[in-house]
Amino acid sequence: MNEVLIDEILNLMPHRYPFVLIDRVTSCVSGQSIHAIKNVSINEPYFMGHFPNKPVVPGVLIIESMAQAAGILMLASSQQPSDEQALYLLAGVDRARFKQMVLPGDQMHLHLNLDKERQGIALFSGEVKVLNEVVCSASLLLAKRG
């Protein structure tokens, strides 16, 4: 799958505003890897409280954006018609490391690899980069429901 824009992303995943944390998929190799982008705007609703005078993207939302990208990879790799697709839920996070803050105006590049999948459980390793610098790395576990 080549570049995927927001309309197709919304067709693949169940999330809606204000919880869509993926703006574009630049590459997706079915059953293997995904590179997605999240453009961070000062208009993000969480900046009103995190933190009003020093806006920083919460780490849990960086992890959630990684999980959404992983879910898109799984849904895009599925052989089922789109109206019958399953839901992939975040089931675990291991080895999460936050190396730098993500600020308004940054563009997060999410790189995830599918390491293993068995019986509806998928293990991913990934990292998030801003300006080619790693800001977060983690291993994620997603579980298929539905």
15, 35, 50, 109: the active-site residue: 50
Which among 36, 68, 41 is positioned nearest to 57, based on CA atoms?
41
Closest by CA to 142, choosing from 73, 90, 77, is 90
Contacts of 82 by beta carbon, 8 Å cutoff, 6+ apart: 11, 12
Active site residue 50: yes
Contact 128, 62 (CB under 8 A): yes
Q: At 74, is the secondary structure helix, strand, or coil?
A: helix
Alpha-carbon distance values, 89 to 30, 68, 129 (Å): 19, 9, 23
DSSP run (H or E) holding 81: none
Q: Which residues are identified as catalytic?
A: 50
